């Protein structure tokens, strides 16, 4: 392993810290060889996907199929140790550098300086850059002096305030981020432009039982929440006040998700979501008065049929995109529910799906699909041709590192908000000019 020279931003007299770290990292890399034929640094596929789930913030390290000989650690363990050594050295250097500064940079500046990847990767033209991560209320309200530095140097996300206890899905409207929380039975709202945090549906009229999918009607600012406990869609106004409910137990067997038309005329509710319970269809209602309009889809694997439908997005041309998770595909319908086409097959290659979940569409007609098994979101054109992917499974919970991604939303300015249940965070990606 090459020993780095001077590190930009750190006085030369402290570069021995980095050099020592590199030497120790080299030893760790040599001792961590699992004996597999995979190249050093290659992705090691977990043999037990369930081990990737977080347990109250503690993570079990997945074992590699190529490293399961008795008494031998995986090369990933070596990579983790290598990462820790380098991070400690970089943290020490950062402290030395910051000690000589009269004013420390702000949290967004530090985050941008630490990680500024763009997507897609070269040689394709870059379209997005990573901007920030939301963990809790203090990420929009501001943090006490010293808290941001601790978070930056030690990946310490404690003390970020309330929010994201057990996030499931999200919606966004001009910088206001709405997140359904299964543990707290409420909607957490992070108002980034207004620097506010508040809750919806925690008490009083419209108290939520089991909030799952949610959607914003941008024409009127209404929030629609699929409450699986009530088997009804609850409607809140722009100020978060409860207005009414749509549907009910007589209309749904297992309500899972809801999507509002951009013009605010219709809502599309998925009945029979994860777990294969009850029906497998999309029920369409008038958004203003709750009248039932029509249904489409039924359980099966043929064209227009569903096996665990998960989410729905409305494309720029009015097409309806439904993630058919159990059939490992996305199906496309016209505005009246007529089947048009599908894309995706089971697999781990670009354009394939392991467990497709949430879906969103942007103003240009492109479609964004979250995959919980692959730990990323993939971007397709309007007809399903693969364009690029963002993210992957990781064990540090940092930017672009995901454990169990479940939600995605696109704001009016094209910004992408990507929710991860496992690490209880939202990564934000801004479009490039």
Examine the pLDDT at 207 and tell me if it is beyond 90: yes
Q: What is the mean pLDDT of residues 137-159?
A: 57
Higher pLDDT, residue 146 or 333:
333
pLDDT in tens, 279-330: 899 999 999 999 999 999 999 999 999 999 999 999 999 999 999 999 999 9
Tell if the pTM clears 0.75, that is, is over it.
no
pLDDT at residue 23 is higher than 60? no
How much is the mean pLDDT over the chain? 78
pLDDT in tens, 33-54: 343 333 322 333 333 334 444 3
pLDDT, residue 241, reads: 97
pLDDT at 162: 74
Q: What is the pLDDT of residue 247?
A: 96
* Range from 15-24, 182-191, 319-328 carrying the lowest mean pLDDT: 15-24
Of 300 and 111, the one with more pLDDT: 300
3-state secondary structure string across the chain: CCCCCCCCCCCHHHHHHHHHHHHHHHHHHHHCCCCCCCCCCCCCCECCHHHHCEECCEECCCCEHHHCCCCCCCHHHHHHHHHHHHHHHHHHHHHHHHHCCCCCCCHHHHHHHHCCCEECCCCCCCCEEEEEEECCCHHHHCCCCCHHHHHHHHCCCCCCCCCCCCEEEEEEECCEEEEEECCCCEEEEEECCCCEEEEECCCCCCCCCCEEEEEEECCCCEEEEEECCCCEEEEECCCCCEEEEEECCCCCCCEEEEEECCCCCEEEEEECCCCCCCCCEEEEEECCCCCEEEEECCECCCCCCECCEEEEEECCCCCEEEEEHHHCEEEEECCCCCEEEEECCECCCCCCECCEEEEEECCCCCEEEEECCCCEEEEECCCCCEEEEECEECCCCCCCEECCEEEEEECCCCCEEEEECCCCEEEEEEECC
- Residue 121's pLDDT is what? 86
pLDDT of residue 67: 40
Per-residue model confidence as pLDDT tens digits over 126-142: 999 999 999 999 999 97
């Amino acid at each position: 392993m090459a020993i780095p020279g001077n590190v930009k931003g750190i006085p030369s007299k402290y570069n021995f810290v980095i050099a020592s770290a590199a030497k120790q990292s080299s030893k760790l890399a040599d001792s961590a060889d699992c004996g597999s034929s995979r190249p050093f640094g290659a992705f090691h596929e977990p043999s037990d996907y369930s081990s990737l789930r977080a347990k109250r913030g503690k993570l079990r390290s997945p074992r590699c199929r190529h490293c399961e000989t008795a008494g031998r650690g995986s090369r990933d363990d070596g990579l983790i140790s290598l990462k820790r050594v380098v991070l400690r050295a970089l943290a020490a250097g950062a402290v030395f550098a910051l000690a000589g500064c009269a004013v420390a940079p702000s949290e967004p500046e530090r985050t941008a300086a630490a990680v500024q990847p763009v997507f897609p990767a070269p040689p394709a033209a870059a379209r997005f850059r990573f901007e920030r991560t939301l963990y809790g209320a203090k990420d929009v309200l501001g943090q006490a002096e010293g808290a941001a530095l601790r978070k930056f140097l030690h990946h310490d996300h404690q003390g970020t305030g309330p929010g994201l206890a057990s996030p499931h899905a999200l919606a966004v409207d001009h910088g206001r981020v709405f997140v359904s929380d299964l543990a707290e039975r409420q909607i957490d709202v992070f108002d980034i432009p207004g620097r506010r945090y508040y809750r919806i549906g925690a008490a009083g009229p419209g108290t939520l039982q089991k909030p799952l999918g949610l959607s914003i009607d941008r024409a009127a600012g209404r929030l629609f929440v699929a409450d699986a406990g009530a088997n009804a869609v609850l409607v809140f106004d722009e100020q978060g006040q409860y207005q009414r409910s749509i549907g009910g137990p007589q209309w749904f067997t297992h309500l899972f998700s809801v999507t509002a038309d951009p013009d605010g005329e219709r809502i599309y509710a998925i009945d029979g979501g994860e777990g294969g319970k009850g029906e497998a269809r999309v029920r369409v209602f008038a958004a203003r008065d709750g009248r039932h309009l029509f249904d489409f889809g039924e359980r099966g694997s043929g064209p227009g049929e569903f096996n665990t439908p998960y989410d729905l997005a409305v494309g720029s041309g009015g097409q309806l995109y439904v993630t058919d998770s159990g059939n490992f595909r996305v199906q496309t319908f016209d505005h009246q529910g007529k089947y048009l086409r599908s894309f995706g097959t089971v697999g781990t290659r670009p354009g394939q799906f392991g467990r497709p979940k949430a879906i969103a569409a942007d103003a240009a007609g492109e479609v964004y699909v979250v995959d919980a098994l692959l730990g990323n979101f993939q971007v397709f054109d309007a007809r399903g041709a693969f364009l690029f992917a963002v993210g992957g499974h990781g064990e540090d919970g940092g930017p672009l590192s995901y454990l169990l991604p479940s939600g995605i939303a696109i704001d009016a300015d094209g910004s992408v908000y990507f929710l991860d249940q496992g690490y209880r965070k939202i990564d934000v990606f801004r479009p490039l000019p």
